[in-house]
Amino acid sequence: MLEQGKGMFRKIIKRLRLRQILKQSAGIKDQDQLPREQAQLSRHLQDNLILFRNILGQNSDLVIREFSFGEGEKVRAALLFFDGLIDKKTVNESIIRPLMYDLHLFSPQQLRRQKSLDFFKEKMVSVGEVKKIVSVDDLLNNCLYGDTIFLIDGFAEALTINTKGWQSRGVTEPKTEAVVRGPREGFTETLNINTSLLRRKIRHPDFVIEKMQLGEKTRTDVCLAYLKGVVSPGLVEEVKSRLQGIKTDAILESGYIEQFIEDAPLSPFATVANSEKPDVVAAKLLEGRVAILVDGTPMVLTVPMLFVESFQTAEDYYSRPYYVSFVRFLRFFSFFVTILAPGIYVALTTFHQELIPTSLLLTIAAARERPPFPVVVEILIMGLFFEIIREAGVRLPRPIGSAISIVGALVIGEAAVSAGLIGAPVVIVIALTAITSFVVISQADVALLSRTLLILVAGFLGGFGIVIFLLGLLIHLITLRSFGTPYLAPFTPLNLSGLKDTVIRAPLWAMGTRPEAISSVNRQRQKFGLLPRPPQKEGNRQN
């Protein structure tokens, strides 16, 4: 009878344990069905590991390192991280080593007596950034960004330890903004490196960098950088509001954000500037702009943008003002040439031959004898050929692309003229247009669209069509705004002090105030009266 009683008692105990296990597993399943934002950690380590395995699935790069520590190694713990996103040396030497060896001095009872993980955070983990988190969603977000999750049996909370250590490109010279004089460092694809490059330029406590995440699936880190006390508070709030209003699955590059926050999405003119040079972005921040840095891209956005920014380079402020002013005039002249030259040639040869000198008109007429197409068709065909060659040169590897660009242009142009399909003056006009289009590369897309429309208008309406088109373009530019700032400032509305940094560049000692169109807060940026003067005469100095 005693043996039968013991057997019945054991069966009852087994059934009770089975019910408890089923309850725990049902609770885990219920947690899996909840949104990750509502899921919470359990006090049982295995439950937490099952929860994370179910959420993350069968990821081959997910590493779950279970281990024991404490006196008699009776305390169970686990580390979760993704291979390739973490620095293994930091994990091994700053987390696992102190936990497995230094904690042998403590008994399990002493460790369990701790009410939270603050003891491990303050005493045992020798890493700079450690956070205590309860939310499963926050833990997953940090883990997917290169942090290590530290779980201990008996605690319904976890530590996230900063162990980021993925491979990244070093700081190199930017390819799109090469300079002869000035810094040769450019932004990289790593957000922390980019923010540090700006910190090196602006070493002031008022320089603020705020972080947020955009993209429902990618959860891309985005930083706002601005100089408090210089930037208008309303501009910062407007930028934050537009960024927080972006609800999309993915933000893979700063161009995604640009298209969601620009003022005139239907305009061909960009109202958000971009650069990959830290000195350029720092200079714009010091004028009162806001910078937007996106993880995974070296292109940094700055707002608001003015039309005149397209004709300015970083090197303009490192060189003497006289030569810089001449070069800026060339940039404006080249921009107008690349837009107007084909259209004016079409208008003159089709409708206004009386405006062409007689000798030049005879030369053009002789060249026009063989080509079978109208001038408009010739210009469009050669322009199309040029754009195809340019695109091929950009997309192909550099050694092959440069060869195709040069050889293709020479061969096609010479063959077209020899075959009598295209007139020689057309080739000259297109060559001039192509060269000038590369002078202001940031407006190359606008120049292409405007040039094509102007050719068509000139082919139908002549000079009258050109005037109408330019007036319409000017009206469009006047109505544009970039985060509330007039796009054509300081030309309209006219600001005389702002003209010092437009077509010409005044000496630095003469530009004592920040652009009024950008910020009305703390406009003075340097002491007035900094004009350099020669030293006094020897006699005066002795007196």
Tokens at residue 536, please?
């006094």
Is residue 454 within 8 A of residue 339, CB to CB? The reply is yes
Q: Picking from 34-48, 135-149, 511-525, which range would have the lowest pLDDT averaged per residue?
A: 34-48
1 has pLDDT over 60 = no
Tell me the pLDDT of the chain averaged across its residues: 83
333 has pLDDT over 70 = yes
More reliable by pLDDT, 73 or 24:
73
How open is the CA angle 80-84-87, to the nearest 5 degrees?
A: 75
Strands laid side by side in the 147-152 sheet: 62-69, 75-82, 147-152, 158-162, 130-133
| Angle subtended by helix axes 444-461 and 321-350, to nearest 10 | 30
According to the model, what pLDDT value does residue 466 have? 94
pTM comes to 0.83
According to the model, what pLDDT value does residue 490 have? 92
104 has pLDDT over 60 = no
Which among 5-9, 45-49, 262-266 has the top mean pLDDT? 262-266
Q: Which of 223, 226, 246, 245 is nearest to 234 (CA)?
A: 226
| Confidence bin at 471 (pLDDT 50/70/90) | very high
The span from the CA of 495 to the CA of 502, in Å, is 11
| Confidence bin at 254 (pLDDT 50/70/90) | very high
What pLDDT, in 10s, does the model give residues 144-166? 888 889 888 888 888 888 888 87
Name residue 531's amino acid. L
Which among 61-75, 273-287, 483-497, 526-540 has the top mean pLDDT? 273-287
More reliable by pLDDT, 92 or 275:
275
Q: Picking from 74-83, 325-334, 413-422, 485-494, which range would have the lowest pLDDT averaged per residue?
A: 413-422
More reliable by pLDDT, 138 or 36:
138
Is residue 147 within 8 A of residue 81, CB to CB? The reply is yes
332 has pLDDT over 70 = yes
Mean pLDDT of 392-420: 70
Cβ within 8 Å of residue 364, ≥6 positions away: 349, 356, 423, 425
According to the model, what pLDDT value does residue 16 have? 45
34 has pLDDT over 60 = no
Give the pairing of strands 75-82 and 147-152.
antiparallel
Residue 220: enclosing H or E segment and its boundaries?
A: strand 220-227
25 has pLDDT over 50 = no
Mean pLDDT of 128-150: 85
More reliable by pLDDT, 26 or 123:
123
Name residue 402's amino acid. S
What pLDDT, in 10s, does the model give residues 107-128? 556 666 666 677 777 767 777 7
28 has pLDDT over 90 = no
The span from the CA of 355 to the CA of 95, in Å, is 82
- Whether cis (ω within 30° of 0) applies to the bond prior to 304 is yes
Instruction: Give the DSSP letter of residue 479.
Output: H
- Whether cis (ω within 30° of 0) applies to the bond prior to 490 is yes
Mean pLDDT of 328-332: 94
The residue assigned the tokens 């950088």 is: 225
According to the model, what pLDDT value does residue 90 have? 81
